[in-house]
Amino acid sequence: MWFERLMRHATTVVGALWVFGATFAGDTSQNAAVSSLIDQLVGGWRLASRVTTTADGRVLVDPGLSVMPNGVLIYDRSGHVAAQLSRPGRTVEMLGDECRAVQKVKGTNDTAQTILGYDAYFGTYTIDAKEGVVTHHLESALFPGDIGKDIKRNFSISGDTLMIRFHTTIADGTSVVRTLLWTRMK
């Protein structure tokens, strides 16, 4: 595990050096695009909406995080990311049943897992400007099975709104699209 983490960090550093090296080698268009996206992405974001949709258009309520969880997403200029989402109305009394349910969580490769009405992780991020994808490289997470994952997210930014959209599966294996709208914290 530590070797995989070391290699991921080495890859991130090599990628950063490549981006900086590309500037000196004359490939400024790609570097400018990445730099512009980073400038727009860096900062704190508060969750405004989170919608899960099936292929036939049905909107589903996430039992772990509810219709509208509280959420914060933070990107820094040095390439670090932290995310936290929380179901409103969590109580200590809920923990017993939910702890038993946590033991059954198998996890998926395409998203982080919600545990006890909470989802949290931190790590680093990389951007593919051409594809409009930000990849979160999870160094640690609330759910231990998420540690070491790379989760890819399509994203776009318009002013102070960040839209993140990705395909995932829910607990019963149904494929869904999850769309999150974030507003810049000021």
- Is residue 53 within 8 Å of residue 171, measured between CB atoms? no
> Which residues, 6 or more positions from 175, have their beta carbon under 8 angstroms from its beta carbon?
54, 55, 167, 168, 169
Q: Which residues contact 68 (CB under 8 A, 6 or more apart)?
A: 47, 49, 50, 88
For residue 185, give both structure tokens.
């914290």
DSSP code at position 8: H
Q: Strand, helix or coil at 127?
A: strand
Is the domain defined by 2-184 classed in CATH 2.40.128.120?
yes
Which phi-psi region, left, alpha or beta, contains residue 90 (left: φ > 0; alpha: ψ -120 to 50)? beta
Domain boundaries, the chain: 2-184
Residue 139 to residue 32: CA distance in whole angstroms = 28
Q: Residues near 107 by Cβ (< 8 Å), separated by ≥ 6?
A: 113, 143, 145, 146
What's the pTM?
0.74
Q: Which of 36-40, 68-72, 102-106, 130-134 has the lowest mean pLDDT?
A: 102-106
Alpha helices in 42-122 (DSSP H): 95-102
Per-residue model confidence as pLDDT tens digits over 133-151: 999 999 999 888 889 999 9
Where residue 184 falls among pLDDT bands split at 50, 70, 90? very high
SS3 179: strand
Residues 119-130 have pLDDT tens digits of: 899 999 999 999
